[in-house]
Structure 1
Amino acid sequence: MRLRSIAAALVAALLAACPTLAQTKTVRAVMHSDIKILDPIWTTANIVRNHGYMVWDTLFAMDEKLQVQPQMVDHWELSPDRLIYTFTLRDGLKWHDGLPVTSEDCIASLRRWGAKDFTGQKLLSFVSALEAVNDKTFRMVLTEPYGLVLDSLAKPGASVPFMMPKRIADTDPGTQITEIVGSGPFIFKKDEWKPGEKIVYVRNPDYKPRAEPPSGLAGGKVVKVDRVEWLAIPDHMTAVNALLAGEIDYIEAPPHDLLPLLKADRSVTVKVYNTIGAQYDFRWNWLQPPFDNPKIRRAALYAFTSKEFLEGVVGDPAYYRVCKAMFVCGTPLESTAGTEGLLDANFARSKELLKEAGYDGTPVVLLHTTDINVLTNAGPIAKSLLERGGFKVEMVPLDFQSIVSRRLRKGPPSEGGWSGFMTAWLSIDMMNPLTNTMVNASCDKAAFGWPCDQKVEQLRDAFARAPDLDSRRKIAADLQARALEVGTHVPLGQYTLPTATRGLTDIVTAPIPVFWNIDKP
């Protein structure tokens, strides 16, 4: 109750602190997490990606049907030999400081993104040159034909290839940027940012939307409100009460168990806008015991179960889908390859493999996210399944931002490292082997967990070169089977999260929450 009282007082204080905003059209939203990091290239955290779409723009974007559309690009051309892409920017693109967007800005942005993001790394491995033709036109020259150029540039999930001014994009990708200047539909108000309380965006008066209607992350980004505030309210019940009382307008991801309360109020709209949903995954650390042993990773794959996990974490079958496919059920690359016998809570087989592997009881140090509702139940259920499979588990409760930092540590748990953690990725990020961060097995270049397998990487390269969907399907199935064999991660099914709003109209159906086109009559 004390936490709820503090959160309620925070809502009142935040609203009372801005009496001059009464005549502005302001959307007050509670997102799934507070935001402390502002660089969407430095981290893959979803909340930072969401922040990125407020401030920056992209060369291409995916529409509601997951088709690639030009965004900052006006038109593009591909040479007959399929080796040279020429991109021309739209007229009127400006940075928030008033300077024009140039080709050099875009080239620097692609290089920084491509040094950090795994899809970008793969794309740039096929690129021999990025060169400016003039201020508005630049070329991408390939070493060989690569059919996923536009798909890569339209990548909607973290890390997104956001375009930044050259002086900012020249920042080392391993160092966080400090200047938040984009060309997107909203301007970040640094002077009003209070980590742990709120982050504020205002309408960019110089933004030139595309002429097309909004569709997914593409089309015209028309801003109809003056101001958007993301309020940090960690107590879900307090946030729900604030929405019911009309003190806030938007809750990105209310817990499933509170949905009946929201649905009972006719002034509240509860709707799924990210219809493709998200995927739960368990990630382990290949560098440290016990999961440095492949047979022990295999044991965990027998202990886990998508069905029991989703029943416990989500509860309502209307909002989850039992699925073993790494590349997401309901998509062109859905497959059951390599899944036979796995993810079915076969605890006896898990214990047999642990015995064969000589498991000595080394505890799984499980990082547990405490402040994001889709993950708060995930850690305890993962712990229970692993323990029933014969593992010893020590759960370490942490807020998400602490986990973002700690998961980068490669050392043993005794030195601040980790063994495993539960995470969730947008399904749109997991739909193919190049955007699926968890299946990357490029050793030190892979994401936190650092899986290392040459055959997985050979199959990912083959996928990148595949000329058509049929061949990509076959390669993706082979890749899934190999990734499960070596254990890059554990896919644990899919879920959707409805958003709750009050008094808002024209919300765009998109895989991430966007605030352009929203109106507040």
Structure 2
Amino acid sequence: MRPLLWLTAALLAVTTATACGTGGGGGETGPGSTQAATPPDDQLDLDAVVTVRMILEPVSLNPFSTSGVAVDQLLLDNVYEGLVSVVDGEVVPRLASSWEVSPDGLGYTFTLVDGATFHDGSPVTSADVVWSLRQQIAPGSTALRAAEFASVAGVSAPDATTVKVDLKQRDTFLLWNLTQRGGIVYKQGTDFAALDAKDNGSGPYTISAWNRGADITLTRFDGYWGAKPKNSKVVLRYIPEANAANNAQTTGQTDVQTAADATLLQPFQGNPGFTVYKGTTTDKFTLALNNKRAPFDNPDVRHAFRKAINKDDVIAAYGAGIKIGGPVPPQDPWHTDLTGVDAHDPAAARELLAKAGQSNLAVTLDIPNVYPRAIADVLVSNLKEVGVTLTVRQVEFPTWLTRVFTNHDYELSVVNHAEARDIGNYAKPDYYFGYDNKQVQADYAAARTAASDGERDELLRKVAKRASDDAATDWLFLNETRTVVRAGVYGVPTAETTNRFPVSGIAVGT
């Protein structure tokens, strides 16, 4: 699953990376639109407490080894930082003020910013960076993103403000991977198992409260080395149910509603107290077909399922989205239009199922209960049309993580793959998809060591095309998010917010 988001010189990210709006319009804006400019500080309540509705609560506050994009959404650039971050798809400085790459592409030298400290007051030094990255590359590392740093031969600190990363071979993804969880800089000697009880990042907020099942409070860290947040606290309220989220927003219990249900926006449209913003995402709602379990070990069956499902029906049921046909969203430089692969064709689907000897197939779908039931209902209807009986099993997200993602104990599953640039999942035969194509693995490996971005991008287009041609999974749609913002609230992120949600630029007018 995926990576991406930064801050120039530590200050710009929050406002620039957030194409957001201020309340007061009552309508719905389109992608790329911006909110009204945030007023000067003397017209803001810099001690305001902002409440934001979220959907998926993290299962742990340990970013080192805990799966789930909710961890990234909460912690990246809010509580923890890396050498670099990402803004509008571009890598930007964070704890590193600058970096240089050697002519052969095998050495990266980072210079740290001045004055950065952890929340316990100790300075962020090159020794902390070296220790953190060595936890990723250590033999047998339990780091969630350890595989992303397989190219790293060693990490060293020539002095207190310089970090040197040496590679075994070129790695065109290194900087990008450093913007993600694997690039977090921890204090040397951090006990990762203790992070649920006490964070110690270098970001603009600390976690002051976690009421499990309800909310998490981020409190401004007054010793932060970068730009001062424009609020004193942000309370993230986890409200999975769409109608309950609408009620919280309309009654003033929340100031911002992220991931608003696009079919339930009537209370906000034409209402001068709110503005609805439409934003791009890398959220790929994916139908996983367990390639290692019958009948989905048969490519004909996988292609049949793809052809049976009408993506327009799924998008209509969900309320927002675009067809993609493959694992790459349009934001990525290696995107290509694959919507014509396995286009909706129920007759062809029935023929393929008959060829595979599966004309009266019954299968089970595991889907986290945070997603609308309407998605599963469309799949039931579409598959019934081609002679497949689909049983839907809605599960809690932690159950999904254990049963499906970790144990691979499933036939079909739907989940939102929100991570950016996660095409490498299709080159992992032990990933929960069970997809194993040696050419895909070779092309992906070659892309990582490519001599240029153009060469990398061409190889990754081949990876995406082959994964689609093999029906490795099915891609139901790419989500377009809706964010509802109360009038008088500024600087709210509205694009690419599922995997990163920087809150220090959110401001409230006086």
What TM-score do the two structures reach when normalised by structure 2?
Answer: 0.81
Q: CA deviation at 1:361?
A: 5.2
2:252 paired residue among 210, 224, 246: 246
Are 1:60 and 1:72, in contact at CA under 8 Å, matched by a contact in 2?
yes
Distance verdict in 2 for CA 1:132–1:255, change over 3 Å: same
The CA RMSD measured in Å over matched residues stands at 2.8
Distance verdict in 2 for CA 1:208–1:422, change over 3 Å: same
2:427 paired residue among 441, 444, 452: 441
1:328-382 superposed Cα distances (whole Å, 9 cap, x missing partner): 2354322246x6450x22222222222222338563221122224xx44222223
2:478 and 2:166 map into 1 onto residues whose CA distance is 38
Q: CA deviation at 1:324?
A: 1.9
Kindly provide the amino acid, as one letter, of the partner of residue 219 in structure 2: V
Distance verdict in 2 for CA 1:480–1:134, change over 3 Å: same
Q: How many residue pairs end up in the alignment?
A: 457
Percent identity, aligned pairs only? 23
1:282-330 superposed Cα distances (whole Å, 9 cap, x missing partner): 112223222233332222222223322212222xxxx422332431235
Answer yes or no: is 1:472 the counterpart of 2:498. no
Match of 2:230 in 1: 224
Are 1:306 and 1:323, in contact at CA under 8 Å, matched by a contact in 2?
no
Match of 1:213 in 2: none
Are 1:277 and 1:497, in contact at CA under 8 Å, matched by a contact in 2?
no
Match of 2:391 in 1: 394
Aligned pairs for 1:140-179 (under 5 A) are 140-155=165-180, 159=181, 161-168=183-190, 179=198
Structure 2, unaligned stretches of length 5 or more? 1-44
Kindly provide the amino acid, as one letter, of the partner of residue 346 in structure 1: D
Q: SS where residue 81 of structure 1 aligns?
A: coil
Q: SS where residue 93 of structure 1 aligns?
A: coil
Q: CA deviation at 1:116?
A: 6.3
The structure, 1 or 2, with the larger RCO (C-alpha pairs under 8 Å, 6+ apart) is 2
1:464 and 1:481 map into 2 onto residues whose CA distance is 17
Answer yes or no: is 1:128 the counterpart of 2:153. yes
Are 2:206 and 2:220, in contact at CA under 8 Å, matched by a contact in 1?
yes
Q: SS where residue 265 of structure 2 aligns?
A: helix
Match of 1:429 in 2: 420
1:455 paired residue among 427, 439, 455: 439
1:225-273 superposed Cα distances (whole Å, 9 cap, x missing partner): 111112233443233233222232111112112212112321112113x
1:138-168 superposed Cα distances (whole Å, 9 cap, x missing partner): 211112333332222234xxx5632222323
1:463-492 superposed Cα distances (whole Å, 9 cap, x missing partner): 112233433343223212221233322122
Answer yes or no: is 1:206 the counterpart of 2:217. no
2:167 and 2:467 map into 1 onto residues whose CA distance is 29
Are 1:105 and 1:169, in contact at CA under 8 Å, matched by a contact in 2?
no
1:367 and 1:266 map into 2 onto residues whose CA distance is 40
Q: SS where residue 211 of structure 2 aligns?
A: coil
Distance verdict in 2 for CA 1:144–1:472, change over 3 Å: closer
1:46-88 superposed Cα distances (whole Å, 9 cap, x missing partner): 2221111221112111223x22111110222223333211112
Deviates more, 1:274-283 or 1:134-143: 274-283
1:42 paired residue among 59, 65, 73: 65
1:141 and 1:170 map into 2 onto residues whose CA distance is 25
Are 1:253 and 1:498, in contact at CA under 8 Å, matched by a contact in 2?
yes
1:472 and 1:304 map into 2 onto residues whose CA distance is 32
Match of 2:13 in 1: none
2:491 paired residue among 474, 484, 506: 506
1:299 paired residue among 304, 322, 328: 304
1:262 and 1:151 map into 2 onto residues whose CA distance is 37
2:57 and 2:263 map into 1 onto residues whose CA distance is 21
Structure 1, unaligned stretches of length 5 or more? 1-21, 210-219, 412-416
Kindly provide the amino acid, as one letter, of the partner of residue 416 in structure 2: A
2:285 and 2:218 map into 1 onto residues whose CA distance is 30
Aligned pairs for 1:3-18 (under 5 A) are none
2:363 and 2:131 map into 1 onto residues whose CA distance is 41
What TM-score do the two structures reach when normalised by structure 1?
Answer: 0.80
1:112 and 1:133 map into 2 onto residues whose CA distance is 19
Aligned pairs for 1:334-413 (under 5 A) are 334-336=335-337, 340-342=340-342, 344-359=343-358, 363-372=362-371, 375-410=372-407
Are 2:100 and 2:110, in contact at CA under 8 Å, matched by a contact in 1?
yes
2:298 and 2:93 map into 1 onto residues whose CA distance is 45
Q: SS where residue 256 of structure 1 aligns?
A: coil
Q: CA deviation at 1:275?
A: 3.0
Kindly provide the amino acid, as one letter, of the partner of residue 186 in structure 1: Y
